[in-house]
Structures are given as C-alpha cells and as structure tokens.
Amino acid sequence: MNICNKPHNKIAPEDLGEAAPEVKVQRARRNGWSWPLHLFQVIAWLLFLFFALVGFGILVPLLPRHWLPAGYICPGVCFIYHLVVHLTAVSIDPADANVREKNYLGPLATFNRNQHAHVIENHHCHVCDVDVSATSKHCGTCNKCVCGFDHHCKWLNNCVGERNYWLFLNSVLSAILGLGLLLLVAFYVFVEFFVDPAVLRSDQHFDALRNHMDRWFVFLPASPVETQAPAILVTAGIFILLSLVTMILLGHLLTFHIYLLWHKLTTYEYILQQRPQQQPDKVDKKQESCSSQVRPSQEADLLSGNPGYTNPRIQVEEFSTVTSGKSFPKLYVHNQEGDSKQSSSPESPSLRSVALSQA
C-alpha cells in the first residue's frame, strides 16, 4: 500500500507565516489635545517657549532704556494674541454639526465595502452614521467628518475647517509678526555686541560690572543671572537662525493660503486640482509602495472617486507636497465588475488603478 502521498493528520492549522489581520476599534478624535499628540505639535510648543524665553528674557532687556517699552509691548502683544488664537484653534472641535450632536467618541461603525462604495454617499457618512453637509469631508486621521474641511494640520494636531480656519490663519500671521519683531531685536543685539557693547549695558545691574566687559546679566531686571559674553553671542546666533527658518516656512504657508483665498479654494480642493498634472511615470514609480500603505477600508475612497474622504497623508505644512503636487501616489479601487468572479482566485488581481483626474 502506497501511503507516501497521503497527507499527515494535523491537529492544528498549518502555519503559513501569515497572521490573520486584527480588526482595530475605530475611534474619533475630538480636537488637538486628543491622544496621541503629534511630534510636530510638541516641537511647535517647544519653539514657542524658546522664542519667548530667549526673546523677552535675554535679548529685549539688553535694549537701550528708551527702547525697552516698545521692545516689550509690540512683540509681547503679538505673542499673547498668537497664544490665544493658537490654543483656541487646537481646542475647538471642527466636526460637522450633526457629528458634534452625536456622542461620536465611542467605537465607530466599521466601514463595509461590500455594502457601500464610498464612506460618504448622498451626504450621509457611513462611519459617523449621520447626515453631513455638502462641504464636509471625513478625515482619516481624526476619523470624523469635518465641515468645510481644508486640511489636517500636524502642528495643531487638529483638523482645520470652517470653525477654526480663521483662527489658524491668525495664528500663522501673529507668529510671523511677533517673531519678526524679536528677530530685529536679536539682530540689533548681535551687531552692537561687536560695535559698541556698552550700549547694551544700560540696566542698573551692570553698574557693578563696569570693569568686567566679559561678564553679562540675563533675565533682567527681575531675576538677573550672571553669565559670560560668549553665551550671549551663541544664544543670539541660535535665536537668529531658528527664527529665520521659522519665518521662511511660516511666510511660505501664509502666502500659499493668501493664494487659496484669492482663488476661493481650500487646500483640499487645490490638491485635487493638482493631481491631474502629475507625470504618469512619476506616479507609476510610487504605485507599488502606495498599494501596501493604503488600508483596505480606505483604498477606494479618498480623492479617487469619493470627494467625501480625506487622506491623512495630506498636510498643508508639507510645503513641497502642497505646492509642487508631485508627491501624491496613485490610488486603487476594487474592480466592481470582476469582484464576484475573481474573489475565489487569489492569483487574480482584484484592484485596478483609476485616473486621478476622475477625482
């Protein structure tokens, strides 16, 4: 009897090296303070603290006495205003009104592609399970519908939409004004340090150090701390470099949004317009990497036939992505005509690429 070709009895499923995918519970985020915090959000707050501490604690107190009131008031008003609008933009919930009325912080419905082609159909979101306005888009990062969706801001860690767009824009503008004023102070201190350092020692605490020009005070006048001259130079130099880079990026962002306002566009709509202009060869190079990164519940939605779902990878702060329109990969949707015939064949492709111009 030939028993060599008979399969062995098994008491456990054969391990093919492919673990079954775990279904994660989908939850929505309320605002920018919802967990998890984004790295860019933490960096933004650290930069704010650095500019405020160095600017008002080290650089402004070194100004001549007749310039001190203006040195504190002008940039101080900008910084306080920026802090208020920034906190408000982060704390506000930009969700659609119908979504806010519903308790959406619990587990959300899992999107079933076999039942619905898109997340939002006929102004109804199948994930939020509410009717939404025509301008609402479902953000993949916050996992909720945002009214008047513009973009998801990583620096705020919150969506920017109809409810907080002007707060976001005022936050950018006030940051540029306040940082620009402190940058002028830093340039003045840096230059006078080599030209005439005595001009910078007008505070009464320097009277005891008249014969020690290499010794300086910081955090005047409330908490004077003695330090050496190189520390002042290095601190001012770092402040100038960081503030220049920050102002260039913020200025670029403000210019971009002024352009959008002039043409009555949102960031989302601008990106949709830029997609057909991509070169096919550059898109094809990213086809393979994109197909492995797009989750099955999202692959047919966003921007490629469903204007109601937004890609969490779209961020207005990624300047090269927004302005050039060259970093957006091709998306895929299920072949609806061949799904029923090909579902049993694992070797048959079940995805087809769609022209981005159809978005």
Query: Which residues have a catalytic role annotated?
Result: 153
Residue 185 host element (H or E): helix 165-195
For the chain, the first-to-last Cα distance in angstroms comes to 64
How far lies 181's CA from each of 52, 124, 187, 240, in Å?
12, 48, 10, 12
β-strand pairing of 124-125 with 130-131: antiparallel
Burial environment of residue 242 by CB neighbours within 10 A (0 to 12, 13 to 18, 19 or more): middle
CA–CA gap between residue 233 and residue 186 (Å, rounded): 10
CA–CA gap between residue 87 and residue 157 (Å, rounded): 11
- Residue 213 contacts residue 194 (beta carbons within 8 Å): no
Other CB atoms closer than 10 Å to residue 273's CB: what's the count?
12
Q: Which DSSP state fits 208?
A: G
Tokens at residue 121, please? 């159909």
CA–CA gap between residue 348 and residue 325 (Å, rounded): 32
Other CB atoms closer than 10 Å to residue 133's CB: what's the count?
13
Rounded to the nearest 10 degrees, what angle do helices 165-195 and 229-262 cross at?
150
- Collapsed DSSP state (helix, strand, coil) of residue 173: helix
Residue type, 27: R
Other CB atoms closer than 10 Å to residue 284's CB: what's the count?
12
